[in-house]
Amino acid sequence: MKYLFIALGGAFGAVLRFSVSSLLYTSNGNFPWGTLVVNVLGSFGLALFLGLSGSEHHTWNFFLAIGLLGAFTTFSTFSMETFFLFKTASAWLAIVNMAANMGLGLGVAIAGFYLGDLLK
């Protein structure tokens, strides 16, 4: 049953992400405002939900945290995992997590783009 709640939340999250991004899209602007807004809203929403709920194993967690906010933005998960590393493990692990996600993410995005360009 949890997979159904994740799927339903994911469907809503994907549509919500597209809607918010579309509202903020400007054809003449260079800055990706839509992505910034969904990442910030998603990070705040997930943190607020987890702060209020205190539990990660109930139906609302599957629908809202994993499904809706997971599809809305995975940056929210990255933000909370990094925060929890700062809070419970060590600042060093949190910094490594940030550097690895940003560095590897950007690195594979660049590699994937050029590989796709090469293969077309």
- Select from 108, 114, 80 the least CA-distant residue to 94: 80
Task: Compute the C-alpha angle 95/97/103, nearest 5°.
Answer: 95
Amino acid symbol at 65: A
Neighbours of 34 (CB within 10 A): 18
pLDDT, residue 47, reads 85
Mean pLDDT of 38-54: 86
| Domain residue ranges in the chain | 2-89, 90-120
For residue range 111-120, list pLDDT tens digits in order.
888 998 888 7
Give the total residue count for the chain: 120
The Cα–Cα gap between 92 and 41 comes to 26
pLDDT, residue 92, reads 92
User: Among 7-11, 72-76, 95-99, which is the least confidently predicted range?
Assistant: 72-76
